[in-house]
Amino acid sequence: VSIDEPVYSGGTSGFKGSGAGGDYAGDNSLLLSDRLECSELPPEDYVENGFLRQTLENAMAAELSPYERDILRLRLGLDDGQPRSIREVVEACGGDISVTDVRSAERRAFKKLRSPNAVQAHNLVAYFEMADISFDADKMPW
């Protein structure tokens, strides 16, 4: 069976009805490739996402404190793909921290990762573009 071989030809091949419903106007053939759809990312996107994730992991390990890394991991859903609200982060930490603590840790972490040294050393520009984070490369000193 070929994906380019007609699966259905709109003639009188055992289907009842006149075909007047307009389902098969013009060319009455249905190809297998017309029905196949893939909702997954293409393989090259998986590879690119993997490289970007590794770059971000390296930058976070080098630039952030363990506390700031944990806050960003929870907020952005880096471990399980589920981003959390600030209140959910507070709950995940057992209520030992406040909403203000989470906000300030997140702000410090992003400030460190956006610093010219971190951006240049870890090549984070591609990650900022992918994450749609505003970043003006023209203002960077290099």
The structure tokens 């490369």 sit at: 137
Amino acid 140: pLDDT? 45
The structure tokens 């297998």 sit at: 32
Regarding pTM above 0.75, the answer is no
Amino acid 44: pLDDT? 85
E strand residue ranges, 10-49: 29-31
- Spans of the chain, pLDDT less than 70: 1-28, 30-36, 126-128, 130-142
Amino acid 87: pLDDT? 96
